[in-house]
Amino acid sequence: MRLLLAAASVFVLATTAQAQAVDPKIAARVEKVLKGTPLIDGHNDVPWGLRQRFGVHPEKLDFEHDTSGLVEPGGPGMMTDIPRLKAGRVGGQFWSVYIPSTFDGPVAVQMTLEQIDIVKGLAARYPATFEMAYTADDVVRIHKAGKIASLVGIEGGHQIGDSLPALRQLYAAGARYMTLTHALNTRWADSATANPQHDGLTPFGEAVVREMNRTGMLVDLSHVSEGTMKDALRVTQAPVIFSHSGADGVADHARNVSDEVLALVKANRGVVMVNFLPNYVNRARMEWAADRSAEQARYNAPPFGGLYIGQPEKAAAALAAWDKAHPKPPVTLAMVADHVDYIARVCGVDCVGIGSDFDGIGDTPDGLDGVDKFPALLAELARRGWSDEDLGKVAGGNVLRALREAEAVAKKLQATTPPSYATLADTDGRK
């Protein structure tokens, strides 16, 4: 991590986990910016992390105390709790109501509603800290009241069960963006991490985008293929977001956004919210992770392969030896700032935001290990020459503007366009 040291004196930005020394003038600037503009993180997976640990029981999570000790087997502790959110000056949070892509149909809709209920349950349990937000004006009002605006984002088109009425009802339940795919293709859109089936969006997929415009739900293009990105940008009448993606020009990865698409996003007035997942931030880390996965499979690949199949102790020892011989390439806060800088340079400063993916990632960059560290990222940008106005845009101003513009498009469309009842069968010929 790059520490920002002043020659004469340093100021410590308070965090609950790790103090970060920052030039006091920069710290004061960041504090001023975040008093006037809500810091809005585009993606946090606490609802699924909570479900994995406690089931559909938000009352079982003690969010008022340090959650870093809540470790899942083979994973990290939680990266989010109320003390760290406050230390991080978070003013608005899109909580992801993710469910795995392997769930489909009615059960996927049910699980999504349960995840939304978790978000609302946390807001109800901690009313002094959280308040549900459904509009851009709500976010501004809640931030001015000194609370955190809680927003809902759906992380995958599989969660609507191929139903536009279900999409509308999820909007009514609070969802304000939907990622068109997650890790797998849907029946109407291609994912970035699956072999293409549709060359982007099908006719029904285009109908989904149009109905999202009509309701006011932001179209989220993280996780989707480049073909899907281009099709959605062609169809949409409102700004899109990428709730947690990086710049392909900094780290070549299917989950990042190419310069060609960034040009389309600029014309669309959309926002790319930069992800913190190390494999997406840094190409060397991605290649290391791929090599490690291959090595792990070589030692123990059920049901029939692997050098040490059925010998977990030997497989673990061999992997530990490989880890020692192949140290993990470092990924730092400064590298995340490189993505922010790059997107602002290629797409414009109105085109970039923050989408951490905290509690949905198994590792974090040095210096960005939890929600308390957001000010340190803004301090790094300030050190690089970003103005206070532009810091406010990346912190939350840009996504707030995109949400406001999507609301305006929806108001106009609702005055002229009835709800769509298109189905896969009548658009794509699928039952």
Task: Answer whether 160's CB lies under 8 Å from 137's CB.
Answer: no
End-to-end CA distance of the chain: 52
| Of 410, 404, 408, 394, the residue nearest 42 (C-alpha) | 394
pLDDT(153) > 50: yes
Cβ atoms of 129 and 147 closer than 8 Å: yes
Q: What is the DSSP letter of 397?
A: I
pLDDT of residue 431: 57
Q: What is the pLDDT of residues 126-144, one digit of tens each?
A: 999 999 999 999 999 999 9
Residue 132 neighbours by CB distance under 10 Å: 17
pLDDT of 18: 36
Across all residues in the chain, what is the average pLDDT?
93
Exposed, middle or buried: residue 351 (CB in 10 Å: 0-12, 13-18, 19+)?
buried
Region 282-301: what's the mean pLDDT?
A: 93
Q: What percent of the chain has pLDDT over 70?
A: 95
pLDDT at residue number 99: 98
Give me the pLDDT at residue 17, please.
34
C-alpha dihedral sign at 154, 160, 163, 166: negative
Confidence of residue 1 (pLDDT cuts 50, 70, 90): very low
- Measured from the Cβ of residue 403, the count of other Cβ atoms closer than 10 Å reads 29
What residues are annotated to the active site?
Answer: 43, 45, 155, 182, 223, 244, 357
What does the pLDDT look like over 369-408, one tens digit per residue?
Answer: 999 999 999 999 999 999 999 999 999 999 999 999 999 9
Note if the bond before 303 is cis, omega within 30 degrees: yes
Task: Provide the pLDDT for residue 8.
Answer: 29
Whole-number pLDDT of residue 5: 28
Please check the confidence at residue 245 and state whether its pLDDT lies above 50: yes
Whether 430 shows a pLDDT value over 80: the answer reads no
> Residue 353 and residue 359: Cα distance in Å, rounded?
18
pTM for this predicted structure: 0.93
Q: What's the confidence (pLDDT) of residue 232?
A: 98
Give the pLDDT confidence score for residue 121 in this predicted structure: 97
Say how far apart CA 327 and CA 325 lie, in whole Å. Answer: 6
How far apart (Å, rounded) are the C-alpha atoms in residues 146 and 132?
13
For strands 90-96 and 352-354, give the pairing.
unpaired
Mean pLDDT lowest among 53-62, 151-160, 180-189: 53-62
Task: Check pLDDT > 60 for residue 263.
Answer: yes
Query: Cα(157)–Cα(232) distance, rounded to whole angstroms?
Result: 13
CATH class, 11-278+350-362+370-428 region: alpha beta
Model confidence at 16: pLDDT above 90? no
Of residues 414, 289, 359, the one with CA closest to residue 76:
359
> Are the C-beta atoms of 270 and 402 separated by less than 8 Å?
yes
Does 7 score more than 80 pLDDT?
A: no
Residue 19 has pLDDT above 90, yes or no: no
Mean pLDDT, residues 160-186 taken together: 98
How many CB atoms sit inside 10 A of residue 84's CB?
A: 24
Q: pLDDT grade, residue 13 (50/70/90)?
A: very low
Tokens standing for residue 101: 């892509």
Residue 327: Cβ within 10 Å count: 8
pLDDT (tens digit per residue) in 38-60: 999 999 999 999 999 999 999 99
| Section 88-111 average pLDDT | 97
Task: Identify the pLDDT of residue 6.
Answer: 31
Stretch 403-414: mean pLDDT: 98
What pLDDT is recorded for position 4? Answer: 29
Residue 26 scores a pLDDT above 90: yes
> Is 353:272 a contact under the CB 8 Å cutoff?
yes
**Has residue 261 got a pLDDT over 60?**
yes
Distances (CA, A) of 305 to 296, 302, 310, 311: 11, 6, 10, 12
Given a cut of 70, whether residue 78 has pLDDT beyond it is yes
| DSSP 3-state of 151 | strand
274 forms bridges with which residues in the sheet?
245, 354
**Reported confidence tier of residue 10, pLDDT bands at 50, 70, 90:** very low
**Looking at the predicted structure, is the pLDDT value of residue 9 above 80?**
no
